[in-house]
Amino acid sequence: MSERGDTAEPLLKGDDADEAIAAAAESRHDEDDRLKPEFVSAVLDAVEEGDAERARDLVSPLHPADIADLLELTPADRRGEVAAALGDLVGAEVLSELNDYVRDDLIGDLAPEQVAEFASELDTDDAVAMIEDMEEADQQAVLDALDPEDRAAIESALSYPEESAGRLMQRDLVAVPEHMTVGQVIDYLRDNGDLTRDFWEIYVVDAKHRPIGYCQLSWILTCPRAIAMADLMKREQTLIPVDMDQEEVALRFQKYALISAAVVDGGGRLVGMITVDDVVHIISEEAGEDILRLSGAGEGDINEPILMTVRARLIWLVVNLGTAMLAASVVGLFEGTIERFAMLAALMGIVSGMGGNAGTQTLAVVVRALATNQLTSSNTARMIGREFRIAATNGATLGTLIGIGSYIIYGRIDLSLVFGAAIVTNNLVAGLAGVLVPITLERNNVDPAVSSAVFVTMMTDSLGFFSFLGLATLFLR
Amino acid sequence: MSERGDTAEPLLKGDDADEAIAAAAESRHDEDDRLKPEFVSAVLDAVEEGDAERARDLVSPLHPADIADLLELTPADRRGEVAAALGDLVGAEVLSELNDYVRDDLIGDLAPEQVAEFASELDTDDAVAMIEDMEEADQQAVLDALDPEDRAAIESALSYPEESAGRLMQRDLVAVPEHMTVGQVIDYLRDNGDLTRDFWEIYVVDAKHRPIGYCQLSWILTCPRAIAMADLMKREQTLIPVDMDQEEVALRFQKYALISAAVVDGGGRLVGMITVDDVVHIISEEAGEDILRLSGAGEGDINEPILMTVRARLIWLVVNLGTAMLAASVVGLFEGTIERFAMLAALMGIVSGMGGNAGTQTLAVVVRALATNQLTSSNTARMIGREFRIAATNGATLGTLIGIGSYIIYGRIDLSLVFGAAIVTNNLVAGLAGVLVPITLERNNVDPAVSSAVFVTMMTDSLGFFSFLGLATLFLR
């Protein structure tokens, strides 16, 4: 028990935390809380040698989230074998923590009855996540194998659009009428505690089951029994419409620092509850996916089948091939000038490259600001002005620097002036395109993270070449 | 009261929700939960006309997070005036929701006593966030103005490193010895309910105040009074070391789906508690900042003073100027070839551009996988193999496409073969650099999101030009 206070290891087993297990525990995670490669190898070796018992001994102290990590870190072609050796250690909770592709792969081999058994152990939202991507026939077989109550709950969730609040919510919640007292609520909970164990707030509803307030459990526990719920509850409440998109749900949880929220149908009736632990991974995903979209990397899921990844990235590369050809055709207009001054071919890439970098900087900022609702129509004009000033300042600085530098190297004042002027021009193009393109796309309901980069690169490349080679054609003698 | 069930509007006022307020409420937010520009203008106009009362009437139904949004959407030079007109509507909670720069700007004008009064109304973590960025003298003045208890709590938090668990945690928490029963805990909470109102779990500690288990409030509420805490509590518990970096804290909350967690010092003693609402914005920030770092946009905070933004972006552009000059010098090596075949100048940008795009795709995926702890030493080799296969497939496809396309346009088989081969080569360079560079940086404790893009672009540009122009020099006649 002496190791309990060990701060280097997050998951401390109480009952059996003797020195040996503590030492083993220490060798499981690295300082960043990831499973160590030695630990993963040890489990894989045990499975390979047919020693399932040793594999299970190693794995059994792990949290379900860590067992899921272990399966993800296992090579795809050995996952089935490892999962089989671990037996019931790979339970419903582990499946609900698994990456979608890895889970679909694993449960693809199971009988519908087994999947149904896992689903019945989970909250509705986790059960839905597990079966929503199955083929329709397989999904139907699982639903048929469920008991009627679970089946009704899951079918009802599946009736809402994908990625909506209706899919995220759980149906098990505590709702009480406002005339109840704190004491009556506690007695009610003691009598009905088997309904649900994980809740953080209870809802107060009117006769039509519409939420009229909520109450944190801590308020109930710190109040005398005689207090009426009507006096204790907070009436100002963030309600989630059942058809709201999960991204909006996540932003709302974040903005109002919610722990849980009531979900209501079109008639304002309480139909479910969403808790923050179901939203946290959406917040992280939504915030992280912009970088993947902006770079055209598709989903960017490292467990995605490789052909899907190839296809997603190739589409983006072919689209960008189009913009590169456009830029090349701009250069082609000036072949005569390039034949006369071959150094232009070397320098023109600096003009387009600097513009590309500046445009990407602006794009990244604007796409994030749009995604986090910080950039709205109220401050769009200010944002454009801000980016224009930044582009002008950086363009002037770089243009001067490059003008002077190229004069030192080539000793031609005409070339330096053309070069500097092209850099300033392309920085302004980059800054304005970087802010105007994503805002325009967003206004037209096109995801700016997906489509902006193509347009901005097209402009900084083509106009960078055009301004530099055009000015050179006019002024270089 | 009939509007209570309105699902379009998240914040429903209960007591005074008559038709008029409901209508006004509807005009405040757009469908994405952002304040409408008309609403913002209405408030600003009222302030400008000196009608502070109208401004307060408009703003008073808002949630503190929305009042903070309103101030952020107000032009910087009018924020002081608007805050003054709103008076006590801009309270401690609003300040704690504000963007750092906007808050620092606003509280810069306040007397230390006023700041201290705001700080004393907040949880320790929010108070610390408010004053941690102040100049040392100003901070000291605020601390001097606090009452001794608040001051001690804040000073203790400030003694931990910035962005550590010690700064995030709150000191108000509920800890009980394991021999207590559920009934005794409830009685204790009723007697001491003024200590803290926002908690979701209570901790069970041993005689040395080391946490030995935790208990969700819902478990207490659903159990008979006679049950002992020792039997109810869960001993497997995720503890947070007080000096852990906030990014790790956020990942741990996410991985184990925590609502709150005990913070322990080096001796394993319970010193504080972190709740998920304090972590949610970190999860979002950490996930979102990779896109900003990868593009060299600095913090990417749209409220940052413009000179700081210019400086951050300019540094990045100058670094990239270096790589662009290197690429230009590669082109310079082949000026003779370009003079003979001017179309190469137009086409070489396609080779470098396609490589740049493919490299950015891989980088984005790898940087995200590293940040989310999905890519560890256990699956690095597999990841490299995966990216190599993707690069080979996409390179072969694009190389063939471009080879055939250029044959149709130029009718030169030698040029098409050189072009296609260069595209394949540069795609492989891009894929391998895109995965090896960030992994190598991470292993050497350099943030891959900040530094990877420079190296990868340098390689795809320089080697793209080198392979294309080099092959052309060898084989074009």
Asked whether residue A305 carries a pLDDT value surpassing 80, the answer given is: yes
- Contact check, Cβ <8 Å, B267/A15: no
Ranges for all domains in chain A classified under CATH 3.10.580.10 = 175-275
List CB contacts (< 8 A) between A299 and chain B.
none
Q: What angle do CA B439, B442, B447 make, to 5 degrees?
A: 125
Candidates A223, A292, A363; nearest CB to B193: A223
* Identity of the amino acid at B289: E
Cβ atoms of B223 and B232 closer than 8 Å: yes
Task: Pick the more confident residue, A48 or B287.
Answer: A48
β-sheet bridge partners, residue A29: A35
List CB contacts (< 8 A) between A373 and chain B.
32-34, 69
Candidates B41, B284, B320; nearest CB to A353: B320
Tens-place pLDDT, residues B238-264 = 999 999 999 899 989 988 889 999 999
Grouping H, G, I as helix, E, B as strand and the rest as coil, residue A177 is strand
| Gap from A146 CA to chain B (nearest CA, Å) | 27
Q: Residue B186's pLDDT is what?
A: 92
Q: Residue B96's pLDDT is what?
A: 86
* Identity of the amino acid at A310: V
Tens-place pLDDT, residues B403-415 = 999 999 999 999 9
- Contact check, Cβ <8 Å, B7/A268: yes
Nearest to A270 by CA among A194, A174, A193: A174
CA distance A142 to A155: 11
Asked whether residue A12 carries a pLDDT value surpassing 50, the answer given is: no
- Contact check, Cβ <8 Å, A5/B369: no
Nearest to A69 by CA among A31, A33, A120: A33
Any idea how long chain B is? 477
Tell the CATH superfamily of the A175-275 domain: CBS-domain (3.10.580.10)
- Contact check, Cβ <8 Å, B221/A190: yes
Ranges for all domains in chain A classified under CATH 1.25.60.10 = 19-163
The residue of A223, A255, A463 whose CB has the most chain B CBs within 10 angstroms, and thus the best one to mutate to test that interface, is A255
With left for phi above 0 and alpha for psi between -120 and 50, is residue B50 left, alpha or beta? left
A281 CB neighbour count, 10 Å cutoff: 16
The residue of A295, A387, A406 whose CB has the most chain B CBs within 10 angstroms, and thus the best one to mutate to test that interface, is A295
Grouping H, G, I as helix, E, B as strand and the rest as coil, residue A301 is coil
Grouping H, G, I as helix, E, B as strand and the rest as coil, residue A396 is helix
- Contact check, Cβ <8 Å, A14/B287: no
CA distance B210 to A4: 8
CA distance A195 to B159: 45
- Contact check, Cβ <8 Å, B33/A224: no
Q: Residue A10's pLDDT is what?
A: 40
- Contact check, Cβ <8 Å, B189/A394: no
Mean pLDDT of B447-469: 93
Span between the terminal Cα atoms of chain A, in Å: 85
- Contact check, Cβ <8 Å, A10/B221: no
Tens-place pLDDT, residues B175-194 = 999 899 999 999 999 888 66
Candidates B11, B373, B398; nearest CB to A317: B398
Q: Is A445 exposed, middle or buried (0-12, 13-18, 19+ CB in 10 A)?
A: exposed
Domain B175-277 in this protein, CATH class: alpha beta
Q: Residue A171's pLDDT is what?
A: 86
**How far from the centroid of its chain's Cα atoms is residue B477's Cα?**
55
Cβ atoms of A125 and A152 closer than 8 Å: no
Candidates B302, B374, B378; nearest CB to A365: B302
Candidates B11, B251, B365; nearest CB to A302: B365
- Contact check, Cβ <8 Å, B32/A360: no
Instruction: Supply the mean pLDDT for chain B.
Output: 88
Task: Pick the more confident residue, B16 or B346.
Answer: B346
Q: What is the DSSP string of A356-368?
A: HHHHHHHHHHHHH
- Contact check, Cβ <8 Å, B12/A255: no
List CB contacts (< 8 A) between B262 and chain A.
none
Tens-place pLDDT, residues A53-84 = 999 999 998 999 999 999 999 998 899 899 98
**The CATH fold of domain A19-163:** MgtE N-terminal fold (1.25.60)
Give the model's confidence band at A294: pLDDT under 50 very low, under 70 low, under 90 confident, else very high.
confident
Ranges for all domains in chain B classified under CATH 3.10.580.10 = 175-277
Q: Residue B195's pLDDT is what?
A: 60
List CB contacts (< 8 A) between A343 and chain B.
332, 335
| Gap from B283 CA to chain A (nearest CA, Å) | 6
Candidates A8, A65, A255; nearest CB to B65: A255
- Contact check, Cβ <8 Å, B283/A283: yes
**How far from the centroid of its chain's Cα atoms is residue A40's Cα?**
26
Q: Residue B8's pLDDT is what?
A: 38
- Contact check, Cβ <8 Å, B365/A6: no
Cβ atoms of B414 and B444 closer than 8 Å: no
Quick one: CA dihedral A251, A257, A259, A264, positive or negative?
negative
In which residue are the tokens 């794009």 written? A363
Q: What angle do CA A57, A58, A61 make, to 5 degrees?
A: 85
| Gap from B421 CA to chain A (nearest CA, Å) | 16
In a 13 Å sphere around the CA of A198, the CA atoms on its Cβ side amount to 16
CA distance B262 to A326: 58
Helix, strand, coil percentages (3-state) for chain A, rounded to 5, are: 65, 10, 25
- Contact check, Cβ <8 Å, B198/A218: yes
Ranges for all domains in chain A classified under CATH 1.10.357.20 = 306-475
Q: Comparing A232-241, A306-315, B100-109, B432-441, which segment has the lowest mean pLDDT?
A: B100-109
β-sheet bridge partners, residue B273: B170, B262
Tens-place pLDDT, residues B304-313 = 889 999 999 9
With left for phi above 0 and alpha for psi between -120 and 50, is residue B180 left, alpha or beta? beta
| Gap from A189 CA to chain B (nearest CA, Å) | 5
Grouping H, G, I as helix, E, B as strand and the rest as coil, residue A160 is coil
Grouping H, G, I as helix, E, B as strand and the rest as coil, residue B208 is coil
Q: Give the tokens for residue A99.
A: 């990456």
Span between the terminal Cα atoms of chain B, in Å: 85
Q: What pairing do the DSSP bridges indicate for beta strands B175-177 and B201-205? A: parallel
Q: Give the tokens for residue B368.
A: 């995200």
CATH of B306-475, one of 3.90.1150.10, 3.20.20.70, 1.10.10.10, 1.10.357.20: 1.10.357.20
- Contact check, Cβ <8 Å, B5/A372: no
Grouping H, G, I as helix, E, B as strand and the rest as coil, residue B249 is helix
User: Which residues neighbour A70 within 8 Å (Cβ) at sequence distance 6 or greater?
Assistant: A35, A40, A43, A59, A62, A82
Give the model's confidence band at A24: pLDDT under 50 very low, under 70 low, under 90 confident, else very high.
low
Interhelix angle A413-443/A380-410, nearest 10 degrees: 160
Asked whether residue A7 carries a pLDDT value surpassing 50, the answer given is: no
Q: Is A254 exposed, middle or buried (0-12, 13-18, 19+ CB in 10 A)?
A: buried
Asked whether residue A15 carries a pLDDT value surpassing 80, the answer given is: no
How far CA B413 is from CA of A142, B352, B407, in Å, comes to 58, 21, 6
Residue of B nearest to A243 (CA): B7
- Contact check, Cβ <8 Å, B276/A280: yes
Q: Give the strands of the sheet with B175-177, arranged side by side.
A: B175-177, B201-205, B211-216
Q: Residue A468's pLDDT is what?
A: 96
Q: Residue B193's pLDDT is what?
A: 67
The residue of B125, B205, B357, B387 whose CB has the most chain A CBs within 10 angstroms, and thus the best one to mutate to test that interface, is B357
A with B: how many residue pairs have Cβ under 8 Å apart? 448
B254 CB neighbour count, 10 Å cutoff: 24
Cβ atoms of B457 and B426 closer than 8 Å: no
Ranges for all domains in chain B classified under CATH 1.25.60.10 = 19-165
Cβ atoms of B387 and B431 closer than 8 Å: yes
**The CATH fold of domain B19-165:** MgtE N-terminal fold (1.25.60)
Asked whether residue A194 carries a pLDDT value surpassing 80, the answer given is: no
CA distance A278 to B323: 44
Tens-place pLDDT, residues B359-400 = 999 999 999 999 888 898 889 999 999 999 999 999 999 999
- Contact check, Cβ <8 Å, A302/B373: no
